[in-house]
Chains A and B, each alone.
Chain A
Amino acid sequence: MLRLRGRVIKAGTVHGEALVSPEPIGFLGGVDAETGVVVEAGHPLRGQSVAGKILVFPTGKGSTVGSYVLYRLAYKGLAPLGIINASSEAIVAVGAIISNIPMVDGIDITQIRTGDEVTIDGEWVTVRRVARAGRGAQKE
């Protein structure tokens, strides 16, 4: 089990499965607001849904309207449960605040893998690696 300390952008406590993107995410045009599925061409998460996940990515990008896309996802119950950034920027931060999505930044996101069980609790992020057949994940 790993404990990482970051900076609170939107306070809250939440627990779920990590979905990790090594690339920045732009919500406007990058994530389908109706389904929560990443649609940006060439994006490493393309085809995967952010709904109900602890979404882990370096930073946001793109249009400021992206804040409203997060809000819309939350309204439809398709938003990420929590957000972890290496370094956050205004679009995703504002989106998380207006959508009540707990969010932390200042985290070394290379420590987290897709499928890990992650808890965000205020400024603390707890990571538990879960063994999964056929994925090559290691149990700690």
Chain B
Amino acid sequence: MYLTRQEKHMLAGKEGPAVQKAMEIVTALGKIYGAADLVPVESVQVAGVSYKNLGEAGLLFLQEWAREGARVRVPTMLNPAGMDLEQWQTLGLPEEFARRQMEVLDAYARMGIEMTCTCTPYLIGKVPGLGSHLAWSESSAVAFANSILGARTNREGGPSALAAAICGRTARYGLHLTENRRATHIVRVACPVRTEVDFGVLGYEVGRRVGKGIPYFVADGAAWTAEGITAALHLRALAAAMAAAGAVALFHVQGMTPESELDDIVRPDAQELTIDSLDEGYARLSSPLERIDFVSIGCPHASLEELRDAARFLAGKRVRSLLWITTSRETRRRAEAAGWVQTIEHAGGHVVSDTCLVVAPVEALGVKTMATNSAKAAFYAPSHSGLQVRLGTLGECLDAAVRGCWPPRRRGAC
């Protein structure tokens, strides 16, 4: 692998032990995956923030690296943490967990990382351009950046993303190379796909079939409307579910995503895949629950539009179930300025920032059943948090929160 003079110095420890360790990680990955050289990255998004996932070992490691002098040299953001950094107490999260979580964030802060704590950095102004090289790690953010924005990033692990931030570089392999961005599967969708939940379940079905593959969605004859597929909420749901159920880091949608019209974007040996029903996906992800303890919106993190819609729905109502709408701190701030957070809180709901139910210790909240509009959340919640899940649209879920039960939109209590 070719290294510049400066990179050789970094690897030899001339910029200190923290940089040396980072460069060892970056070059080892380059070696393993056959990279010809390193490529500068514009930004880094680091996963491995929640103490729930990191544990004591991860915390110790981050503290040691920070002590050795690790500092990031490109703009670096964090994935959600295990709790809302300001209102964790009100939300009922354990104190010991909170203390450990703050230690994790302190270590990251010492490295010069922005405390964004979101899986949707592209919703708060961190929008990489076409062809820019990144080292992002949260799976739905990676899929969104590669596919919708046409940026280039592999699905980094926590330490490898951090290493890239400390070096300002990553190894040039995988999705950094044009030839590896061609579709491995041609996907035809032959059933109606309308709501954000439908798109999520479609993502689940495609993800579990293609695994690490790169799907190319054929628009011709597709059973979605042009409006449907271009809705940002729908694309986020699709990307997140494919990345969770499989390991999809890039997909193309004919005529819509930036690389879909390039010559040879589909590999000659691409497999054909037709999705003609979402029934099985719904059956696997959603249970016929009646009592709903918990309603979770915002996986990936809710946009300003979702908070607006939720506020409109909840105005003058009162929730019976615990309602969490998870979002970034920045989006929450904007929604607060518009008065939407107050409306949601007045109805008894919580607008929770910096975290999400995939990484928060939700099991400590004493809830057993959950309604959500996120197929990704439905995929993780049973194993991560021991919850039973019912899938529905934003409106259905909020209605269930108000009535405390499913099915929504029926009169009276359940």
Contact = CB atoms under 8 A, between A and B. Distances in A.
Interface of A: 7, 9-10, 33, 64-65, 67-69, 71-72, 75, 88-91, 93-94, 97-98, 105
Contacts of B28: 9-10, 93-94, 97
Contacts of A67: 157-159
A65 B58 contact: yes
Interface of B: 21, 24-25, 28-29, 31-32, 48, 53-58, 60-61, 65, 157-160, 163
B48 A94 contact: no
> Taking chain A's interface residues, is the majority helix, strand, or loop, or is none over half, making it mixed?
helix
B157 A93 contact: no
Contacts of A88: 32
B53 A10 contact: no
Given A71-B61, A90-B157, A65 B53 contact: yes
A68 B32 contact: no
A41 B244 CA distance: 24
B48, B157, B160 — most chain A CB neighbours (10 Å): B157
Given A9-B32, A88-B32, A94 B160 contact: yes
B60 A72 contact: yes
A91 B32 contact: no
Contacts of B32: 9, 88-90, 93, 105
A65 B61 CA distance: 12
B175 to A, nearest CB: 14
A75 B63 CA distance: 13
A71 B21 CA distance: 14
A60 B293 CA distance: 39
B24 A10 contact: yes
B157 A64 contact: yes
Contact of A98 (B25, B31, B54, B55): B25
Nearest to B54: A68
A33 B57 contact: yes
Nearest to A66: B157
Given A64-B159, A94-B28, 18 more contacts: A9-B28, A10-B24, A33-B55, A33-B57, A64-B48, A65-B48, A65-B58, A65-B158, A68-B159, A71-B60, A72-B57, A89-B32, A90-B160, A91-B157, A93-B32, A94-B160, A98-B21, A98-B65
Contacts of B158: 64-65, 67-68
A97 B54 CA distance: 17
B180 to A, nearest CB: 16
Contact of B25 (A7, A71, A75, A97): A97
17 contacts: A64-B157, A64-B158, A65-B48, A65-B53, A65-B55, A65-B58, A65-B158, A69-B57, A71-B60, A71-B61, A72-B57, A72-B60, A90-B32, A90-B160, A97-B24, A98-B65, A105-B32
A68 B61 contact: yes
A90 B160 CA distance: 9
Contacts of A72: 55-57, 60
A68 B29 contact: no
